[in-house]
Amino acid sequence: MKLIFAPTSPFVRKVMAVAHETGLAGRLEIEFNPASPLQRDPALVGHNPLGKIPALVLDDGRVLFDSPVICEYLATTAGDTVLFPPAGPARWAALTQQALGDGLLDAAIANRYETVPRPADLRWPDWTKAQLAKIAGALDAIEALAPELPQQSDHPATIGTITLGCALGYLDFRYAELNWREGRPQAAVWFAAFDARPSMAATRPREHVA
């Protein structure tokens, strides 16, 4: 299997964390791609018509995208029934947590595109305000949810907790100025423990060095 990859992508991190949790990380061939919202890369579009990462090229040539699909495929391939619990309340909780983390990341990345590549005179302050409000709302929801999340770093992870961990880690990586822990002590305590997991430690974002 080949994973189309960028080391700064939190969605790639989510996939890699699942690969580590399931013992499949060693089976992934990694292919770096500098995905950009401004310029479509024909090599990437050949695998994913949306031009987005991650994309997983299977051994038979089929391609899976994006991160929720790839993560569930890896868990199924490994026979893991904890990351994606079977039908029932635990499954809906894990999937809803995944949606919360993915939504936080969508807002954070949308705002980064607005404030980094876009020329300063074309930026839309109301757009930034709206994305930051989504991030704050998601963080407040994580704070309320944190007491229900496993507090031990060795407790089995789900796709929900992995996604929340990757989302908070992305804020540390790209939005340190938000100081998201302020006023959210429960989320801060939970993240400190969860981020110590081997799968999270092995996948922390970094800038690509050619």
Mean pLDDT value of segment 81-89? 95
pLDDT at 210: 42
Q: What's the CATH number for 89-201?
A: 1.20.1050.10
Q: Indicate the pTM of the whole model.
A: 0.93
pLDDT at 133: 98
Q: Say if residue 157's pLDDT is above 90.
A: yes
Burial tier of 113 (Cβ tally within 10 Å: 0-12, 13-18, 19+): middle
Mean pLDDT value of segment 12-20? 98
Cα 31 to Cα 57: distance, rounded to the nearest angstrom: 10
Structure tokens at 49: 């018509």
Long-range contacts of 136-142 (CB under 8 A, 24+ apart): 138/100, 138/101, 138/103, 138/104, 138/107, 138/167, 139/104, 139/180, 139/184, 139/187, 140/184, 141/100, 142/100, 142/104, 142/168, 142/184, 142/187
pLDDT at 122: 80
**For residue range 49-76, what is the model confidence (pLDDT) as tens digits?**
988 999 999 999 999 999 999 999 999 9
Q: Hunting for tokens 């302020």 — which residue is that?
A: 182
How is the chain split into domains, by residue range?
Answer: 2-78, 89-201
Q: Hunting for tokens 């989510």 — which residue is that?
A: 14
Whether 82 and 157 have beta carbons less than 8 Å apart is answered as yes
Q: Say if residue 209's pLDDT is above 50.
A: no
**For residue range 118-135, what is the model confidence (pLDDT) as tens digits?**
787 888 899 899 999 999
**For residue range 106-116, what is the model confidence (pLDDT) as tens digits?**
999 999 988 87
Is the alpha carbon torsion for 56, 20, 89, 101 positive or negative?
Answer: negative
Whether 55 and 64 have beta carbons less than 8 Å apart is answered as yes
pLDDT at 45: 87
- The maximal CA–CA distance of the chain, rounded, in angstroms, is 52
Structure tokens at 8: 């700064």
Q: What's the CATH number for 2-78?
A: 3.40.30.10
Q: Say if residue 207's pLDDT is above 90.
A: no
Phi, psi (deg, nearest 5) at residue 63:
-125, 135
Q: Say if residue 153's pLDDT is above 70.
A: no
**Percentage of the chain with pLDDT > 70?**
96
Residue 183, phi-psi category: left (phi > 0), alpha (psi -120 to 50), beta (remainder): left
Q: Say if residue 184's pLDDT is above 50.
A: yes
pLDDT at 35: 77
- Bond prior to 154 in cis (omega within 30° of 0): no
